[in-house]
Structures are given as structure tokens and as C-alpha cells.
Amino acid sequence: MEKIGILEGRQKQVYEKNGDGKEFDIKCETTSLSGSVSQRACVFCGSRVVLYPVADALHVVHGPIGCAAYTWDIRGAVSSGPELHRLSFSTDLKEMDVIYGGEKKLHQSLTELIAEYQPKAAFIYSTCIIGLIGDDIDAVCKKVSQETGIPVLPVHSEGFKGTKKDGYKAACDALLKLVGTGSTEGIGKYSINILGEFNLAGEAWIIRKYYEEMGIEVVATMTGDGRVDDIRRSHGASLNIVQCSGSMVKLAKMMEEKYGIPYLRVSYFGIEDMSKALYDAAKHFSDNPAIMQAAKQLVSREVSELYPRLQQFRKALEGKKAAIYVGGAFKAFSLIKALSSVGMSVVLAGSQTGDKDDYNGLKEMCDEGTVIVDDSNPVELSKFVLEKQADLLIGGVKERPIAYKLGIGFCDHNHERKIPLAGFVGMYNFIQEVYNSVMSPVWQFAPRKGGLS
């Protein structure tokens, strides 16, 4: 087998922990190397994933058809009510629009769509060429907002203007314009917003129920099962609880600055982190000991039920090796802990958008020999999963066929998942997913296992 090398220009984005005392200085938060087949998407993608679950808003993609077509109903972000977010709207710009400008078409499109769908707000996403042809989408949005009386929010998400992370920021900027425009009347003292939770397969509902059981009021979830009116009054909450490393910390910071709302960073994956997320919220409201009391009861009940059920998998999974490649690195921390609770180790941990702190944390957590990668690609990922003899790859749609081709189990931990993996129940589902793939008898036919030939 030919040895696969790492591209010049990417070598500093790959690190193997091997106790050689070499300084850990991973390069990250940079644009992808041209020609490297990055697994990342673009600025637009970052904005689109964050805002997508706001279910009663109109999401209009201003540009040629592709960007809207590829993001039509692609996430497992479910809604308990309206489902406007599952439709795809595009100004579908043509050559003449590119030459003469797309402002008129955008204005006309918005006027018609708002009249027809009666949304609570509209998000207008700029795509690559909008940044070039000079459409003033701010002006169009302002005009339509005046004409229709609903917030019409430009999202500056031109694909080439940075990385996916810049798209998160653009989305947070748009959300911040909504925050603070609603009445906070009736919001109690023990109240939170859940940020960075997208209600994939109903995960936000699970989390919300936990907090509510503890006696905490949830004002808004952003953006899972999101509603415009909730977001407008979210500045009335006492605390922001932020999940998902990169995507919504920016909004939490801006809300702290503007409204004095503190925030906590949490993860809802795995027993340890899920429990901590509840305890941290309870600690914040320490003047009400009943909240901590309820948290303890909840955790104890859930864990005592979950733990024995998890043990049935442990015997089979103990000693198996996993590779993790996810969007945000913060999730990788939880996954490492969750896997270790059934005796699995991690041989590769990487992300599309992690920052220095994330990677330092990963390095501390990981065993010797673990590879840490930023903004990786199929060639590198396959090289490492094979070299490190992983039994499982955790990733998204684009990583799945890499694993399957090479005869390796796979767990989808990305936007398209249809099984909730958050919360205590999600931990069970996660391990079951892992088990179902790693232990499948089909791998006996894979070439790397001899292929029975």
C-alpha cells in the first residue's frame, strides 16, 4: 500500500500525540487549502445551519438556484408547529439578473412570498455573487420590512467571505436584531434560553423537559423548534445556556454585552456532560436550592435507569477504537467521554471548525497515539482510520461512505440524524447506534478483514 502523505500547507493542521515533548501548536481557524477536498462547506452553510430551524420564518436564498436546492429540507431539525423552514425559496438568479442586478427580483419575491406564507419574520441569505454584483440587500430588506410590518433580516453569508464559522457569526448578527424586540412580561427569575441546540430528531424537546422538570423556565430555544416571537423576547431570560462550540457563543456574548445575560457552555452528549449541563444551570440559580435538588433527583433517576442498559453493550464494545470527525470540536470532547464509558478508545479526533482551545483540550484528553486534525479531508481521514485500525467512524454524510467503503462501522452525529443522541435517552441511542454498526456481521466480507476470500 502506498504511503499517503499530508499535503504541504496542511502539515501544521495534523498532530499525533506521542509524548515526544514536541510543542503542540496546531494551525486552525484558517481558510481551507485550495485543492485539498475539505469536508467543510462555506459561509452560507454556516448561516443556513444556524437559522434553518426557525420554523415560522421565511428563509429566502438570494442567488442562483444551487445554494437553495442543496439545502432544501436537509436537516433533521423538527418543529412542533409550523414547518415553513422545510421549504426552499430562491430568487433563482439568471444571467440577466447578474448583469442588471437582482434587487428588484428580490423585492418582488419577498413581497409575494410574505403575502402568501404570512411568516413571522424573513431571513434573506446573500450568496457568493451577491457580494460581487453589489445588490444592496440591506436596503431591500428594510423596504420590505416597512411595507409588510415583519422583521426582514439580511444575512451576510456570501460563501467566499471566510469560513463556515463566519457564517455562524452572520447568523448570530441576524438573530441579535430580533432579540429585544418583544415583551418580556411574565418571564420569571429562573429562566433560560437554550442556545446552539437545533432540535435534531427532537433533541431540544428532551433537554427542555429536563430543565422544566428542575423548575427552570425556558424562554427560547435557538434555534431548534424556534419561533420568532420567542427569540424576540429571549432577552428576558436570566441565563443563556450554549451548546455546540462555535455556532452560537457569539450570540451569547453579544447578549451578555447588550442585556447583561450571563452564559454557560454545555454539552448534552453523554452521561457526564449531560448531568453537568443540568447541575451547572442549577448552580447558577443557587438561591433556589429546590432547583439543585430537582436536578439531583433527575440525574439519579435517569442514570440509574440508563447505566445497567448501557452495560449490556460494554462487553461487546470494550477495547474497540473510534475515530471522530465532526463539525465543532466541542462535541468531540463529549463523544470521547461517552465512548470511554463503554470501554471504547478514540484514535482520531478532528473537526472542521475547532479553535486552539478546543484542540488543546482534545490533546489533554486523548490517549497517546491519538491523531488530532483540523479541517481534514477524505484522503487523510481514510489514511488515519486504517493506520489506527479504527472500528468506528463518527461523522456526517460525507464521512459515511469513507467508513463503509473501507469496511468500518459508522455513526451519523451530524445534522441529518433522525435518532436523538442528546440527553440520557440519547446516550442510550448513541451507544446502540455504535453497537449496531460496529458489531454487524457484514464486515466479515470487507477486504481489510480478509473478505472471506
User: Which one of 52, 59, 76, 90 is in contact with other proteins (CB under 8 A)?
Assistant: 90
Residue of the chain from 14, 15, 54, 71 that contacts other proteins (CB under 8 A): 71
Nearest-approach distance from CB 424 to other proteins, in angstroms: 30
Closer residue to other proteins, CB minimum distance, 361 or 407: 407
Of 139 and 397, which CB lies nearer to other proteins in the complex structure? 397
**Choice between 6 and 439, CB closer to other proteins:** 6
Regarding 45 and contact with other proteins (CB under 8 A), the answer is yes
Residue of 16, 27, 29, 33 that binds other proteins (CB under 8 A): 33
Contact flag: residue 327 with other proteins (CB under 8 A): no
Q: Does 200 bind other proteins (CB under 8 A)?
A: no
- Residue 406 CB, shortest distance to other proteins, in Å, is 6
Instruction: Report cis status (omega within 30 of 0) of the bond before 30.
Output: no
353 touching other proteins, by CB under 8 A: no
Assess 143 for contact with other proteins (CB under 8 A). no
Interface residue with other proteins, options 143, 253, 296, 398 (CB under 8 A): 398
Report whether 281 contacts 264 (CB < 8 A). Answer: yes
Residue 334 carries which side chain, given as an amino acid letter? Answer: S
Q: Can you say how many angstroms the Cα of residue 447 is from the centroid of all Cα atoms in its chain?
A: 34
Residue 143 or residue 398: which is nearer to other proteins going by CB? Answer: 398
Q: Are 367 and 413 in contact (CB under 8 A)?
A: no
Among 101, 162, 215, 361, binds other proteins (CB under 8 A): 162
Please state, in angstroms and as integers, the Cα–Cα distance from residue 448 to each residue in 144, 226, 229, 452, following that order.
Answer: 59, 45, 54, 10
Which position among 16, 101, 404, 429 is part of the footprint of other proteins (CB under 8 A)? Answer: 404
CB of 291 to other proteins, least distance (A): 42
Beta bridge partner(s), residue 443: none
CB of 399 to other proteins, least distance (A): 9
**To the nearest whole angstrom, how small is the minimum distance from the Cβ of residue 422 to other proteins?**
23
Residue 121, helix vs strand vs coil: strand
Cβ of residue 278: shortest distance to other proteins, in angstroms?
34
Residue 401 interacting with other proteins (CB under 8 A)? yes
Q: How would you label 306-330 residue by residue, b for 16+ Cβ within 10 Å and e otherwise?
A: beeebeebeeebeebbbbbbbbbbb
What DSSP string describes 366-430?
A: SPTT-EEEES--HHHHHHHHHHTT-SEEEE-TTTHHHHHHTT-EEEE-STT--S--SHHHHHHHH
CB 171, min distance to other proteins, A: 15
Check residue 418 for interaction with other proteins (CB under 8 A): no
Q: How far is the CB of 75 from other proteins (least distance, A)?
A: 12
Nearer to other proteins, 43 or 281 (CB): 43
Chain residues 97-136 in contact with other proteins, contact rule CB under 8 A: 97-98, 105, 108-109, 112-113, 115-117, 127-129, 131-133
Grid coordinates representing 41 are 462547506
Question: What is the nearest approach in angstroms of other proteins to the Cβ of residue 177?
Answer: 22
How many other C-beta atoms can be found within 10 angstroms of the C-beta atom of residue 451?
11
User: What is the phi-psi region of residue 118: left when phi exceeds 0, alpha when psi lies from -120 to 50, beta otherwise?
Assistant: left
Phi first, then psi, for residue 243 (nearest 5°) are -105, 165
Instruction: Confirm or reject binding of residue 402 to other proteins (CB under 8 A).
Output: yes
Using only C-alpha atoms, what is the Rg of the chain?
23
In the structure grid, which three cell numbers stand for residue 413, read together? 452525529
Specify burial of residue 148 (Cβ count, 10 A radius: 0-12, 13-18, 19+): middle
Of 69 and 290, which CB lies nearer to other proteins in the complex structure? 69
Instruction: Find the binder of other proteins among 27, 65, 229, 296 (CB under 8 A).
Output: 65
Site for other proteins contains 214 (CB under 8 A): no
Burial class (CB in 10 A: 0-12, 13-18, 19+), 450: exposed
User: Which one among 27, 296, 356, 400 touches other proteins, defined by CB under 8 A?
Assistant: 400
188 binds other proteins (CB under 8 A): no
Strand partners, 191: 217
Q: Which is nearer to other proteins, 223 or 382 (CB)?
A: 382
What's the gap between Cα 288 and its chain centre? 32
- The span from the CA of 367 to the CA of 361, in Å, is 12
Nearer Cβ to other proteins (95/257): 95
- How far apart (Å, rounded) are the C-alpha atoms in residues 282 and 295? 7
Nearest Cα to 276, choosing from 284, 289, 267, 285? 267
Does 7 engage in binding with other proteins (CB under 8 A)? Answer: yes
Q: Which three cell numbers stand for residue 412?
A: 451519523
- Comparing CB distances to other proteins, the nearer of 86 and 143 is 86
